[in-house]
Amino acid sequence: MNEQDKKTLCVAGTSGLVGSNITRAALLRGYQINGTMRDCSDHAKAPFLKALDGGDRLNLFAADMSIDGDFDEATRGADGLFIATLIPVYKGPTGTLAKEMDDEQGYREIIMPTVNGCLNIMRSAVRNGVNKIVICSSTSSTNPIPPVSVKNEVDHWSDENAQCRAKKYTSATKTVMEKAAFRFAKEHDIRLSVIMPTGMFGPVIIPEHMERNPHVWLSRLITGGAGRHEKVPNDSISLSHLYDLADLFLAAYEKADARGRYFGVYGSWHWQDIYSELKRILPDMQMPLPITDSAERPTQFDFTRRNSLEVPFRDIQTCLRETVEWIQSKPFG
């Protein structure tokens, strides 16, 4: 029995896009997994997780991050914790869109439920002596004002107040959450790493993830429909392959000196280059209208910290091609 066989990891949000891929990768390495879902009896999700290679080492726990103590059982006996439950929220409980809220409502209905939920999960970890935590956030927390030519994870933070003024409460959530999590980690001597992805390509574990971007619009392109845009945006997209991203999460846990923020992307391409590459892969696909202005420069990253985790990343051409080929294989029948 190797060292990983002796350890249990808790994946909070094991049925999510990122959480399911962390679970897949960790099981392949021999870990025992305590995975949390809101509903363990969900037949649209649980069977696909249990069918993973090594799924007999996956134990599912029902847990809701809005309830203090609900993650106590799942974190008991765990050596590390991955928090992948903090999915973007774009509207409040009443259906009001985030962009239509004022700051008071935005904080109450969009920002604080995620922040408090993250801290609730971390409190469960502390109660059970878990001091290695990796959180999934987003590059939306790394957009300083004024913009910089090359972003890094240490110096560059979004301004949550500016995000709120722009009605970007969903993006502000990540900024506020990360700051709160790092304060909590310092107070409780937790080795905390935060991984920040954006566009996530590659195979998914659970069929309903095919209904989200980018898989939903890639599926439309494959079958002759329109892509994500009627006209190519004069903007760029940062992306990574889900398998590489999962390996990055595990590296942040496994490397004893890993802590702090890490970009979870390979790099960034302008949307016109994304569609041009897809046209090479799918010669008969429907192209959006081209841009008419000079192309904006794609986002530039300093990957010194990401590279220190020694995880190889597929390039963007490979991410696009492998995702298209995987969808074409009709993995779910």
The three-class DSSP label of residue 37 is strand
Q: Which residues make beta-bridge pairs with 11?
A: 35, 82
Q: Please, what is the Cα angle at 267 between 264 and 273, to 5 degrees?
A: 140
Alpha carbon distance 207, 136 (integer Å): 21
pLDDT for position 1 = 43
The dihedral sign for the CA sequence 165, 168, 169, 174: negative
> Which domains occur in the chain, in start order?
3-199+239-266+303-313 (3.40.50.720)
Q: What percent of the chain has pLDDT over 70?
A: 98
Can you list the alpha helix ranges (DSSP code H) found in 200-270? 215-222, 242-254
pLDDT for position 87 = 85
DSSP letter string over 254-265? HSTT--EEEE--
State the DSSP H helix or E strand holding residue 191, giving kind and residue range, or none if neither.
Answer: strand 191-196
pLDDT for position 6 = 67
Alpha carbon distance 320, 237 (integer Å): 12
Determine how many CB atoms are found less than 10 A away from the CB of residue 74. Answer: 28
Alpha carbon distance 279, 264 (integer Å): 26
pLDDT profile of the chain (333 residues), mean per 10 = 72 98 97 96 94 97 96 98 93 91 95 97 98 97 96 97 96 97 98 97 97 96 94 96 98 98 97 97 96 95 98 98 98 92
Whether residue 47 has a cis bond before it, omega within 30° of 0: no
| Burial label, 5 (beta-carbon count in 10 A; 0-12, 13-18, 19+) | exposed
Can you list the alpha helix ranges (DSSP code H) found in 87-168? 103-106, 112-127, 160-165
The three-class DSSP label of residue 208 is helix
Q: Which residues make beta-bridge pairs with 192?
A: 133
The three-class DSSP label of residue 70 is coil
DSSP letter string over 141-162? G---SS--SSB-TTT----HHH
Alpha carbon distance 182, 141 (integer Å): 13
pLDDT for position 2 = 58
pTM of the model: 0.96
The answer to whether the beta carbons of residues 282 and 223 sit under 8 Å apart is no
The three-class DSSP label of residue 97 is strand
| Secondary structure letter of residue 109 according to DSSP | I
pLDDT for position 5 = 57
180 to each of 94, 97, 155, 186, 282, how far by Cα in Å? 26, 24, 17, 10, 44
191-196 and 132-136 beta bridge pairing: parallel
